Structure 1
Amino acid sequence: MKTLLYIHGFNSSESSHKATLLGEAAKQIGQANAVISPRLSWQPAMAIKQLEAIIEEKQSQGITLIGSSLGGFYAAYLAEKYHLNAILVNPAVQAPVLLKDHLGPQTNPYTDEEYELTLAHMKELEVLVVTEPAPALYWLMLQEGDEVLDYREALKAFPQTNRLTHEQGGDHRFIEFERFTEEILRFAEIIID
């Protein structure tokens, strides 16, 4: 069975809105187990190990990645490493720079987990930067109204992609994401016409 692996963002959780919408869409077509959304460690190196274990278990059956914000940053690294298709939703392409603004004590508002983000974690992020993405692997989804990230950075980092959804307005969460759930399941070959 083909799998869609949802990778949540910074201080988010496995129950994020987009993950929930995708899970419900898969359930409606009788593929409830096709979408997986793990709770990831806040430590970048640990989160990548968790994701690599899932990919290595499911890769032979076919797996597509979808990541939002920091999850999009992780998805790009993993797509290149394993040569997988990936959907990047408002990705944090400059994560090692952006997260420096959040160094220090953190509380995840969804899980109540408390931790401290340090420069060592920024170094873990730096090794994950994709400098020459393979355009054929990606579907880039951007909304210009993203209040957290500058969408132009993603366009610069992924100048040519297999697919591009670029909308005016919107926000960091990607407003009305549910419009795309069926198309995403098709991209992941969970729906086959």
Structure 2
Amino acid sequence: MILYLHGFRSGPQSQKVQALAARMHARGLGDQLWCAQLSPVPFEAIAQADAQIERCLKSGVQPALAGSSLGGFYVTHLAEKHGLKAVAINPFVPHADFDQSLFIGEHETLYSGEHFTFTTEHAAQIAALDTPRLSQPEKLWLLAEEGDEVLDYRYAVARYAGSRQTVLPGGDHGFTRWEDYLDEVIAFAGIG
């Protein structure tokens, strides 16, 4: 089972989720993907994912995680908390000179058009969830493109030191070569 956590303002309708779902369906694994619309409130989003992880574990399923951008940050936190494998795609990594104005303020989700406000309290929740040192880096795989126009990939390379890393030239924040890695992601999760 792969639990996919989408990025800030995104959702289950994102291109990456849809591509992964299509590949898994084509391989007869269509029922092995979970991706829900996450709350824009960080603690609530983590609670949603925690609940799904607990359901999996109670049914004897060891899930793997994948997430992009803020979802990549979340899966890193959850992988550390639960000892799970995770793929972080162009993940958000908190750092001292990060411009919080990317988050703070009024926003609209890309697919549903719902509006929400991200506050300094929500930013503090992200800080509380941060995992500056990875205790099990071997369980994490960083997928990053150097051309990410939103987040500086070098912070992710430093944060995921000791982890499997695929860092590609060019690209953008959406990770343009995602479809080239779908089968490897499924294999990394241990379900294909």
Unaligned runs of 5+ in 2: none
Distance (whole Å) between structure 1 residues aligned to residue 84 and residue 62 of structure 2:
9
The runs of at least 4 aligned residues of structure 1 exceeding 2 Å deviation read: 95-102
Alpha-carbon contact 2:11-2:110 (below 8 Å) kept: no
Between the two proteins, the alignment pairs up a number of residues equal to 188
Distance (whole Å) between structure 2 residues aligned to residue 70 and residue 185 of structure 1:
21
Aligned-pair identity in percent equals 36
Distance (whole Å) between structure 1 residues aligned to residue 4 and residue 123 of structure 2:
22
Please show how residues 16-165 of structure 1 align to structure 2 within 5 Å: 16-59=14-57, 60-94=60-94, 97-133=98-134, 134-161=136-163, 163-165=164-166
Q: Which residue of the partner structure matches residue 177 of structure 2?
A: 176
Distance (whole Å) between structure 1 residues aligned to residue 108 and residue 77 of structure 2:
26
RMSD over aligned CA atoms reads 1.4
Q: Which residue of the partner structure matches residue 13 of structure 2?
A: 15
Distance (whole Å) between structure 1 residues aligned to residue 186 and residue 39 of structure 2:
26
What letter corresponds to residue 182 of structure 1 in structure 2? D
Unaligned runs of 5+ in 1: none
Secondary structure in structure 2 of the residue aligned to 1:116: strand
Distance (whole Å) between structure 2 residues aligned to residue 71 and residue 124 of structure 1:
14
Q: Can you list the C-alpha shifts for 1:42-83, whole angstroms capped at 9, x where unaligned? A: 111110000000001112311000010000000000000000
Q: Can you list the C-alpha shifts for 1:82-116, whole angstroms capped at 9, x where unaligned? A: 00000000000118944443312111121111111
TM-score normalised according to structure 1 size: 0.93
Pair 1:4 & 2:5 matched: no
TM-score normalised according to structure 2 size: 0.94
Secondary structure in structure 2 of the residue aligned to 1:141: strand
Q: Can you list the C-alpha shifts for 1:143-184, whole angstroms capped at 9, x where unaligned? A: 0000001000001111110x2111000111111211111111
